[in-house]
Chains A and B, each alone.
Chain A
């Protein structure tokens, strides 16, 4: 089918009912854009659109990894699993839009096994590392160098690595 306005193939089709009469429009992508009829957007575009429409406090960050909501808005990537909790109220509407209105997971849950229980200790250790890293960043930025040194030692003890980020 040809576009109503030009010779291109019509790919955007709109049916509206006006005074009880069906009014059809068949447009190509370009003419549709000109007429303000956008083609369906993917989930990343939807998230960006919701993010751009959101206003509110933006400077607060995730207590575990320090990612701010602004950073997320920019990258559309969260910093750590804890971000889902930290930004839950602001994330929920855009997750809902990206997933056809779904707000609740219904698929499989992690397998509780002996091995997984063992790695619970590793998980706790990793959470501690994230928290220390965050405190260290704050200590450095507020020039509390003595505290920063203590935290760095603690981090080194936990991870075996040198200075972080």
Chain B
């Protein structure tokens, strides 16, 4: 168990602060709006204390002072009913890796400035239950406020982050200039300091070869596209994080509305259109892809993370299109997290080498997908008679 401080008490990574297992973790819930395509939405605000050198330039003493000031403000401002304070210097490397896999803290915060020794004042404050709010202290900026919501819920995420901002400003004074807005260590975040992102599951766009068009469209609209593991990562499991890059010259609500009303709905429609096309005109191919992956996950004895993620992506598509019966979306979402190296080790209670992890991962997936099955819709159809199919985002059986 990770060290936690009052008033929140300790954080229990096995439950995400709820009794529902990691399924209680906000971004793994599958019941958010447009949850078939959008796993989660997040809003992040970058803030720095006025009149204080930025974290990377500060001496250890200054960083400790920033940490102390922020700790008092965060724990004293009633941000959530329970807030766990996770001091990175007291966390073991495994604990920090767990937080990174959970998408709660960045690799940069986990690593710290002093390398693996961890003697660098930095922390994360986590709201419980559900892990919907995480404030990183002494990352690239003094404060990185992140609010996470399931599904397509950018508005709720933004409201949550702005409320935290208001509450913190009751005791903290943030660096600000009328011209450049909130001042950040890197000028790419200046202005609102607001980065909004969604995690999209786009298997059909990849299968139909349209994924490059999606990436190019996102890039043309000045959006950043990253993989599941964030900055610099390749897409695994057909999961993509899309976020705004422009933080200056637009209000918070303009950034929100552009994404929520204009841009992301187009990507959702594009993916659903491709899913419907696959389930209709290419139903046999879709079923083959889904059931090959399901068969592999149900019978393999050794699996590495990326391979498992890719096949889970196909199974998730199978659940959405009604091909796969048994597991629901929430269970498949939870598996995306449970097969990660540190989560796997934690569930077994001891360290594992790479081969042991591959074996443990395969064992876990076999157990969790034991009841998964389904009928192949293509079997009863003639090759030219496959036009019935799942509608966008529905659980229709596909014929």
List chain A positions with a Cβ less than 8 A from chain B.
Answer: 9, 11-13, 39-40, 42-44, 47, 64-65, 67, 75-81, 84-85, 91, 94-95, 98-111, 113, 115-116, 118-120, 122-127, 129-130, 159, 161-162, 164-165
> Once the chains bind, are B61 and A130 in contact (CB under 8 Å)?
no
Given A42-B224, A120-B173, A124-B51, the answer on whether A98 and B187 have CB atoms closer than 8 Å is: yes
> Once the chains bind, are B249 and A44 in contact (CB under 8 Å)?
no
> Once the chains bind, are B191 and A102 in contact (CB under 8 Å)?
yes
Residues of A within 8 A of B178 (CB): 105, 109
> Once the chains bind, are A106 and B220 in contact (CB under 8 Å)?
no
In the assembled complex, the Cα of A80 lies from the Cα of B62 at a distance in Å of 12
Is B370's CB within 8 Å of the partner chain A?
no
Residues of A within 8 A of B52 (CB): 80-81, 126, 130
Residues of A within 8 A of B176 (CB): 109-110
> Once the chains bind, are B57 and A67 in contact (CB under 8 Å)?
yes
20 contacts between A and B (CB under 8 A): A13-B216, A39-B219, A40-B220, A65-B53, A65-B57, A77-B186, A94-B187, A98-B246, A100-B222, A101-B249, A102-B191, A102-B248, A105-B249, A106-B249, A107-B194, A109-B176, A110-B174, A111-B170, A130-B52, A161-B59
For the complex of A and B, list the 10 residue pairs with the smallest distance between their C-beta atoms, beginning with the closest: A102-B249, A105-B181, A81-B175, A126-B51, A161-B61, A107-B192, A99-B248, A123-B51, A127-B51, A79-B57
In the assembled complex, the Cα of A16 lies from the Cα of B15 at a distance in Å of 57
Q: How far is the CB of A35 from chain B (nearest CB, A)?
A: 17
> Once the chains bind, are B183 and A81 in contact (CB under 8 Å)?
yes
Q: How far is the CB of B244 from chain A (nearest CB, A)?
A: 10
In the assembled complex, the Cα of A95 lies from the Cα of B69 at a distance in Å of 30
In the assembled complex, the Cα of A111 lies from the Cα of B59 at a distance in Å of 29
List chain B positions with a Cβ less than 8 A from chain A.
Answer: 48-54, 56-57, 59, 61-62, 65, 69, 140, 162, 165-166, 169-183, 185-188, 190-192, 194, 209, 212, 215-216, 219-220, 222, 224, 245-252
Contact partner, A79, options B53, B59, B181, B224, Cβ 8 Å: B53
> Once the chains bind, are A108 and B251 in contact (CB under 8 Å)?
yes
In the assembled complex, the Cα of A47 lies from the Cα of B187 at a distance in Å of 9
> Once the chains bind, are A81 and B48 in contact (CB under 8 Å)?
yes
Given A11-B215, A98-B187, A102-B250, the answer on whether A78 and B174 have CB atoms closer than 8 Å is: no
Residues of B within 8 A of A111 (CB): 166, 169-170
In the assembled complex, the Cα of A149 lies from the Cα of B219 at a distance in Å of 54
> Once the chains bind, are B248 and A119 in contact (CB under 8 Å)?
no
Contact partner, A81, options B51, B162, B191, Cβ 8 Å: B51
> Once the chains bind, are B181 and A107 in contact (CB under 8 Å)?
yes
In the assembled complex, the Cα of A99 lies from the Cα of B192 at a distance in Å of 12
In the assembled complex, the Cα of A10 lies from the Cα of B158 at a distance in Å of 37
Question: For residue B219, which residue of chain A has the nearest CB?
Answer: A40
In the assembled complex, the Cα of A122 lies from the Cα of B52 at a distance in Å of 10
Given A98-B245, A105-B248, A107-B192; 5 other pairs, CB 8 A cutoff: A39-B219, A47-B187, A111-B166, A115-B170, A126-B49
Given A65-B53, A76-B186, A77-B186, the answer on whether A42 and B179 have CB atoms closer than 8 Å is: no
Find the residue from A9, A123, A124 having the highest chain B CB count within 10 A. Answer: A123
Given A65-B57, A100-B222, the answer on whether A108 and B192 have CB atoms closer than 8 Å is: yes
> Once the chains bind, are B219 and A99 in contact (CB under 8 Å)?
no
Question: For residue B173, which residue of chain A has the nearest CB?
Answer: A119
> Once the chains bind, are A105 and B180 in contact (CB under 8 Å)?
yes
> Once the chains bind, are B246 and A100 in contact (CB under 8 Å)?
yes
In the assembled complex, the Cα of A75 lies from the Cα of B250 at a distance in Å of 26
Residues of B within 8 A of A13 (CB): 216
Find the residue from B59, B187, B190 having the highest chain A CB count within 10 A. Answer: B187
In the assembled complex, the Cα of A13 lies from the Cα of B212 at a distance in Å of 12
In the assembled complex, the Cα of A84 lies from the Cα of B246 at a distance in Å of 18
> Once the chains bind, are B59 and A164 in contact (CB under 8 Å)?
yes
In the assembled complex, the Cα of A125 lies from the Cα of B61 at a distance in Å of 15
> Once the chains bind, are A107 and B191 in contact (CB under 8 Å)?
yes
Residues of B within 8 A of A100 (CB): 222, 246, 249
Question: For residue B77, which residue of chain A has the nearest CB?
Answer: A115
> Once the chains bind, are A42 and B245 in contact (CB under 8 Å)?
yes
Residues of B within 8 A of A130 (CB): 51-53
Find the residue from A95, A99, A125, A129 having the highest chain B CB count within 10 A. Answer: A99
> Once the chains bind, are B56 and A159 in contact (CB under 8 Å)?
no
Q: How far is the CB of A51 from chain B (nearest CB, A)?
A: 11
> Once the chains bind, are B249 and A99 in contact (CB under 8 Å)?
yes
In the assembled complex, the Cα of A38 lies from the Cα of B71 at a distance in Å of 45
> Once the chains bind, are A105 and B185 in contact (CB under 8 Å)?
no
> Once the chains bind, are B181 and A119 in contact (CB under 8 Å)?
no
Question: For residue B169, which residue of chain A has the nearest CB?
Answer: A111
In the assembled complex, the Cα of A12 lies from the Cα of B220 at a distance in Å of 11
